[in-house]
């Protein structure tokens, strides 16, 4: 059974980004980039399924600029077997990414596609759902547990006020939530081994997908600065302020 894992190169989660002066977006010059954290969880889950003998091959795919090869090498170091870079400009929109992934699903015929629930740069939370729709596949989003057996995937997902368990017939699309697993630390020998694993580069046009943007960013602004707080003399003054000014008591 093949598993396809889409991984996105995004600004590292620990970087504090700043908005460009012309408000056209976030300044990415000399900023550390990493694999989207939810995608790391997706790769880890796929590799665990391979180690458990459930999957036979894990294929990582990224849509993006040439540097996304580094992200793919990280996926290979976690344990993916091979990688595909669909080379394009940065910022391909979720619908175009989903169309590209659909073309790869047709080509590779994976039984399972595990994506992150969202990319932390655009917070879209769209690609997995759109891929499932385009490919006509069942989907379970925000998975916190995944069991694959007998041609079925059983997925636990957190919903309002509880947990839901779904059974999906394969092939299927699953998106990861934070609780699914804790990705392993990548060891140096595995980083070295990853350098020798196959990484194919194709262009979006080769897959017959038009990546022309359909959305226009009007402006990006920093969140409003928090104003300084007020110091109160004692508990009595605090209670009065909460009662009279904030009216929360």
Does residue 127 interact with ligand AMP by CB under 6 A? yes
Least distance between ligand AMP and beta carbon 118 (Å): 4
Does residue 8 interact with ligand AMP by CB under 6 A? yes
Specify whether the CB–CB gap between 112 and 172 falls below 8 A.
Answer: yes
Least distance between ligand AMP and beta carbon 226 (Å): 27
Least distance between ligand AMP and beta carbon 170 (Å): 19
63-101: b (≥16 Cβ within 10 Å) or e: bbbeebbebbbbbbbbbbbbbbbbbbeeebbbbbbbbbb
Which residues are paired to 162 by β-bridges?
Answer: 159
Least distance between ligand AMP and beta carbon 3 (Å): 13
Specify whether the CB–CB gap between 70 and 153 falls below 8 A.
Answer: no
Least distance between ligand AMP and beta carbon 46 (Å): 11
Does residue 122 interact with ligand AMP by CB under 6 A? yes
- Of the candidates 7, 8, 13, 205, the residue with the CA atom closest to the CA atom of residue 90: 8
What is the DSSP-derived secondary structure letter of residue 13?
A: T
Does residue 139 interact with ligand AMP by CB under 6 A? no
Q: Which of residues 72-91 bind ligand AMP (CB under 6 A)?
A: none
Least distance between ligand AMP and beta carbon 56 (Å): 21
Packing angle of the helix pair 127-135, 94-108 (nearest 10 deg): 50
Does residue 118 interact with ligand AMP by CB under 6 A? yes
Does residue 116 interact with ligand AMP by CB under 6 A? yes
Binding mask 171-210 for ligand AMP (x = CB under 6 A): ----------------------------------------
Does residue 44 interact with ligand AMP by CB under 6 A? no
CA angle (97 as vertex; 71, 195 as ends), nearest 5: 20
Which of 1, 48, 126, 183 contacts ligand AMP by CB under 6 A?
126
Sequence-distant (6+) residues with CB within 8 A of 144 are 156, 157, 158, 163, 177, 179, 180
Specify whether the CB–CB gap between 94 and 40 falls below 8 A.
Answer: no
Q: Which residues bind ligand AMP (CB under 6 A)?
A: 6-8, 36, 38-39, 62-64, 92, 94, 97, 115-116, 118-119, 122, 124-128
């Amino acid at each position: 059974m093949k598993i396809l894992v889409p991984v996105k190169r995004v600004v590292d989660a620990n970087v504090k980004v700043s908005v460009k002066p012309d408000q056209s977006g976030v300044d990415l010059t000399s900023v550390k980039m990493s694999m989207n954290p939810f995608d790391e969880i997706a790769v880890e889950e796929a590799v665990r399924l391979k180690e458990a003998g459930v999957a036979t091959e894990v294929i990582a795919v990224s849509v993006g600029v040439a540097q996304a090869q580094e992200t793919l090498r990280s996926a290979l170091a976690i344990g993916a077997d091979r990688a595909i870079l669909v080379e394009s400009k940065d910022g391909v929109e979720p619908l175009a990414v989903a169309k590209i992934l659909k073309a790869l699903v047709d080509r590779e015929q994976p039984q399972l596609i595990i994506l992150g629930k969202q990319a932390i740069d655009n917070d879209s939370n769209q690609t997995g759902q759109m891929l499932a729709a385009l490919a006509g596949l069942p989907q379970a989003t925000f998975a916190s547990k995944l069991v694959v057996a007998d041609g079925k995937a059983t997925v636990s997902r957190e919903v309002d006020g509880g947990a839901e368990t779904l059974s999906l017939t394969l092939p299927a699309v699953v998106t990861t939530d934070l609780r699914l697993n804790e990705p392993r630390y990548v060891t140096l020998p595995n980083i070295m081994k990853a350098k020798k694993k196959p990484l194919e580069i194709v262009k979006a046009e080769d897959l017959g997908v038009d990546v022309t943007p359909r959305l226009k960013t009007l402006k990006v602004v920093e969140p409003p600065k928090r104003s300084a707080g007020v110091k109160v003399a004692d508990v009595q003054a605090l209670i009065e302020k909460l009662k009279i000014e904030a009216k929360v008591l």
